Amino acid sequence: DTAVSQTPKYLVTQMGNDKSIKCEQNLGHDTMYWYKQDSKKFLKIMFSYNNKELIINETVPNRFSPKSPDKAHLNLHINSLELGDSAVYFCASSRRDTSGLYTDTQYFGPGTRLTVL
Amino acid sequence: GQSLEQPSEVTAVEGAIVQINCTYQTSGFYGLSWYQQHDGGAPTFLSYNALDGLEETGRFSSFLSRSDSYGYLLLQELQMKDSASYFCAVKGSGYSTLTFGKGTMLLVSP
C-alpha cells in the first residue's frame, strides 16, 4: 500500500553511463515532481508534470529527460552521467491546487541515492 | 525568484520547546509549508499556513505573518525522535510548486 514508490533505491554507476529511475504513485494525484537533494541537503525541484504534461522544467541539463507515460508514473532518464549528478533524487506527488487555501501536501517517495564513480 | 532563510542548526534537550524561524522573499506567495526529514529518509509534510496566525497540530505548531514574510515552526515537549532536518517551503503562484529552504538540523539531546 506504498503511496509513492521509487526504484531503484540505490544506484552506483560509472561516469558516462545512462541510467533511469522509476516512480509510481497510487494516491490518485494529478501532479508529480522530481527533486534533487545534494550532499548539503538542499532540495531543488527539477521537473513537474500535471496530467502527463510537463509544467516545470527548472535549469536542468538536457541530459535529464523526464517521461510520464500516465498520471501515476513519472520516470527520469539521465544520459552521460557526471560526477556532479551524485545526489539523492526524490519523486513526489500532490493534488494540484491553485487556490492556495488547502494544504497541497506533497508526498515524497523514499528517494534514489545515485552515486557516480 | 524566491529565497528562504532558516537557521542551519538548532540544539535542544528533551522536554524543551524550540522555535525554528523562516523568512522568505518571493515574487508570488500562496502559503508556507513545513517538512520534516529524518536522516536517510524522505521529507514528510508537517503543516501548511496560507493565512496569518497559528496552526496547531499536537506538539507541533506553525505560525505565519504575511506582512513580515516570516513564519516559524514550534516544537513542544521535544523527544529524541524529533531530531531531524526541518524545511520551510513556499508555495508559489500557479501550479503546486514548492521552493524549499536549506533546512534546519534539529539535534535533541537527553
For residue B36, give how far its alpha carbon lies from the nearest alpha carbon of chain A (Å).
11
Q: What is the pLDDT of residues B23-71, one digit of tens each?
A: 999 888 888 999 999 999 999 999 999 899 999 989 999 999 999 999 9
According to DSSP, residue A40 is labeled T
Q: Measure in Å the smallest separation between the Cα of A101 and chain B Cα atoms.
A: 6
Contact list in A for residue B99 (CB cut-off 8 A) is 45
Mutate to test the interface with B, among A25, A106, A107, A113 (most CBs of B within 10 A): A106
The reply to whether residue B43 touches residue A90, judged by beta carbons under 8 angstroms, is yes
The residue-averaged pLDDT of B62-86 equals: 97
Given B31, B33, B102, which is nearest A42 (Cβ)? B102
pLDDT top residue among A106 and B83:
B83
d(CA A33, CA A48): 4
* Cell numbers linked to A60: 536542468
End-to-end CA distance of chain B: 41
To the nearest whole Å, the CA of A30 is away from the closest chain B CA by 10
Query: What is the C-alpha separation between A117 and A19, in angstroms, rounded?
Result: 13
Cell of residue B107, nine digits: 539535534
Residue B5 exposed, middle or buried by CB count within 10 Å (0-12, 13-18, 19+):
middle
A/B interface, count of CB pairs below 8 Å: 66
- pLDDT class of B95 with cuts at 50, 70, 90: low
CA-CA-CA-CA torsion sign (B31, B39, B44, A69): positive
pLDDT attached to residue A1 = 65
In which band, very low, low, confident or very high, does the pLDDT at A103 lie, cut at 50, 70 and 90? low
- Do the bridges between strand A87-94 and strand B31-37 make them parallel or antiparallel, or are there none, so unpaired? unpaired
Indicate whether B94 pLDDT > 60. no
What are the cell numbers at A45?
525541484
Nearest-10 Cα torsion for A54, A56, A58, A61: 0
Tens digits of per-residue pLDDT, A20-79? 999 999 999 888 999 999 998 899 999 988 878 887 777 789 999 999 999 999 999 999
Kindly identify which residue of chain B lies nearest to residue A56, measuring between CA atoms. B97
Please list every residue in chain A whose beta carbon sits closer than 8 Å to the beta carbon of residue B87.
43
